[in-house]
Structure 1
Amino acid sequence: MSVEDWDNVVRTNLNSAFYVDRAVLPDMRAKRFGRIIHMAGSDALFPLPNRAHVVATKYALHGLAKAIALEYGPEGITANSVAPGWVSTQRNPEWFPNLKDTVAELEKTLPLRHLRNVEESRTLASTWLR
């Protein structure tokens, strides 16, 4: 992977969470209450080849949430990370040189044996939020 790809993913996935956390924590501390949720991802738990930058940042989000929870828990602030399942979206072909084979192998590990698409996920989410 290129240094540019690495930097872009670290900036997007990890640095952005740090900056948001840093911005909201003072107000949460003043109120002695707050909830931080990081959208980590399955990559941290079930890594795939050619995605070291994504795996590293998603794993780091789990660690960042743990660190915040330990440090600020006594002040009434909780922090958690969520690892949502796989959804079929456009993929960077450089990160998935064998996309068809990768998806076929991945789908064997999924309870429904297929990746949900965005519309299925949206429908499920709206059902859960009712």
Structure 2
Amino acid sequence: MRELKEIDIFIFNTLRNILYEKVPEYKVILASKENFKYSSEYNIYFFMNEFATYLASRIIEDTTSFFVKNSFEYINLLGQSDNCEVLNIVNIGILEILYTEEANSREWIKKNLSETLQLNFEAWSKYYR
């Protein structure tokens, strides 16, 4: 069981560190949040859900911000992975949240995703009609 937890920690740390590198503003935001509880649990899905929820609010505010631009670069970078776990994290942890955020334009989000991720994003329409 310890080995499996080590894998979870490795994935969490790797994806979090890449996020902080690509979107350094998010690290500052998390540091200022009193109730951010997932940093020590190494649950990458909760962490990415939190990121996607925050991104959705920023898209509403300003689609041209550096935060939004850099966030989509990060998402599209992860979408290039050959690792099934990373792709699942992107799909469930980020794309589903963005898809279900009704205040956002699904077409705008889709347009800013890579071709591969656009297909995954569109697939959510089967579940959320």
**Structure showing the higher strand proportion among its residues:** 1
What range is the shorter-chain TM-score in? 0.3 to 0.5
Structure with larger Rg: 1
